[in-house]
Chains A and B, each alone.
Chain A
Amino acid sequence: MSTGFFRQHVGEIATLTVEHLWLTGAAMLLATAIAVPAGVWLARSPRWAKPVIGLTNILQTIPSLAMFGFLLPLPWLGERAARIAIVALCAYALLPILRNTYAGIRGIDRSIIEVASALGLTDAQRFFKVELPLAAPFILAGLRTATVTSIGIATIAAAVGAGGLGELIFRGVASVDNRLVLAGAIPAALLALAIDAALGQIERWFKVSAS
């Protein structure tokens, strides 16, 4: 990539990277807000675990381009491309976060939970002081998988006009300009690697204090 090309596009790459991060970040927040409480609920009512996790599994199998297409005609959602992108990315993120939250809470040693109750902790205290911290490394691992996958899928969101680094890729493909494709693909890959490393570090902190 020539320096001239880079200089010409650096502003655009930066703007699109921020947009990409915003789409992914908003989708992850939304997915966490849905999947963590749902995972906790499933851990308490395990008979629902199979159907609910199965359902999120089906969501996962929908091809991403088709998912964006399905959401396009919906009222309110279809009005803005970013909304579609966030909802679609959120749908893909549900499974890893939900499954890991469920497994993380179910995996806690029963005797520890019992002792917490027997010592007179209220249900809320038991959850926030014991269950959630012990399940946190698992939940974070799920969030990490979901985020890295989302950064990849978010490039496709440009197909419905949601912006992000995918826009450079789509433009590059349309104009048969590999430099443009790389200008979108390389920052997206670096973003995924950086976020993977950062979340991995946070996960390790939790594991150290939980081991």
Chain B
Amino acid sequence: MSAAIEFRDLCFATPQGRRLLDSISLSVEEGSTAAILGRSGSGKTTLLRTVNRMVLPTSGEILLHGKSASAFDLIKLRRNMGYVIQETGLFPHFTVERNVGLVLEAEGRPRQECLRRSHELLEAVGLNAAGFAKRFPHQLSGGQRQRVGLARALAAEPDFLLMDEPFGALDPLTRAEMQDMLRGLLNRLKKTVLLVTHDLDEALYLADRILLLSEGKLLACLSPNEFIASREPQIEAYVRAFHRGWHNAAAEIQVSERRV
């Protein structure tokens, strides 16, 4: 397998001089999923947005299949990258089917083809096309909107999928369903995925590599098992911050069981 995305010494600073990305170098294998973890403001979203050139790096470069991202035609590059964000950004004035088919429509494909593909994708993300195609985004639940957002991102059969906290706003059960659905889809479709998330569980469940960012620096790029087992203090602290309540409750149960 070859590197689908390679960051080479990537830096980004705001015009005010704040460094949001500091010499990031790493590569993401083709067809794999890399989760990007880190505190708010650690540069996760900025890193994601350098890939589709929504953010232009101050220095360094990004290679896509060995070719510099800046050498691609911008529109073609972006159409080859599905993009999903937390609030989905569905177009409120379009029906679900038009939202999903919009990129194909923009490519000038015939209307029938746009609709057919849009219905296929709705089914693929677990929505009944006959029931949902004609609805408007405000008539959907949060989980359904995320499904539509994902279907839209996949419409032009992109090689890459960029996801920025896609399930962050969902309740835990819906989120788990969405993660299952996404895992199933990714197993079939073999996309190269960058997934920004705050949820360690989600990263462990979905990703092949876990990246940890802190103040714009890359602290770790490890497999899920290595990440959990790491003795690196900052990674340990991050892992410990999760499930504190659960560990606490479990410890109390043990104590009370001993008393009995």
Choose among B75, B79, B138 the residue with the greatest number of A CB atoms under 10 Å from its CB.
B75
Is the pair A111, B93 in contact by a Cβ cutoff of 8 Å? no
Does A115 touch B at the CB level, under 8 Å?
Answer: yes
Q: What residue in chain B is nearest A122 (Cβ atoms)?
A: B75
CA distance A174 to B103 in the complex (A): 65
Tell me the dominant secondary structure on chain B's binding face.
Answer: mixed
- Contact partner of A118 among B52, B76, B91, CB < 8 A? B52
CB–CB B102/A119 < 8 A:
yes
B78 within 8 A of A: yes
Among B62-113, those with CB < 8 Å from A are 75-81, 83, 85, 87-89, 91-93, 102-103, 105-106
Task: Please give, as numbers and ranges, the residues of chain B lying within 8 Å of A109 by CB-CB distance.
Answer: 89
Chain A residues with CB under 8 Å of B103's CB are: 119-121
How far, in Å, is B163 (CB) from chain A's closest CB? 12
Q: How far is the CA of A211 from the CA of B88 in the complex (A)?
A: 16
Q: Which A116-133 residues have C-beta < 8 A from chain B?
A: 116-122, 125, 129-130, 133
Residues facing A in B139-153 (CB within 8 A) are 152-153
Nearest residue (CB) in B for A137 is: B93
Q: How far is the CA of A162 from the CA of B85 in the complex (A)?
A: 57
A134 on the B face (CB < 8 A): yes
Flag whether A210 is at the interface (Cβ < 8 A): yes
Is A112 positioned at the interface, with any CB of B under 8 Å from its CB?
A: yes
Number of B residues whose C-beta is below 8 Å from A? 27
Interface residues on A, range: 20 to 34
Q: Are B83 and A210 in contact (CB under 8 A)?
A: no
Q: How far in angstroms is the closest Cβ of chain A from B114?
A: 13
Q: Are A112 and B79 in contact (CB under 8 A)?
A: no
Find chain B residues with CB under 8 A from A122 CB. 75, 106
Task: Tell me the bound Cα distance from A209 to B88 in angstroms.
Answer: 19
A115-B85 CB under 8 A given contacts A120-B156, A134-B92, A211-B138: yes
Quick check: A209 and B93 within 8 Å, CB to CB?
Answer: yes
Contact A111 B106 (CB under 8 A): no
Known contacts A116-B91, A121-B75, A125-B106, then 16 further A-B pairs from the complex at CB < 8 Å, ordered by chain A residue: A111-B89, A114-B89, A118-B78, A118-B83, A118-B162, A119-B83, A119-B102, A119-B153, A120-B79, A120-B81, A120-B156, A129-B91, A129-B102, A134-B92, A210-B93, A211-B92
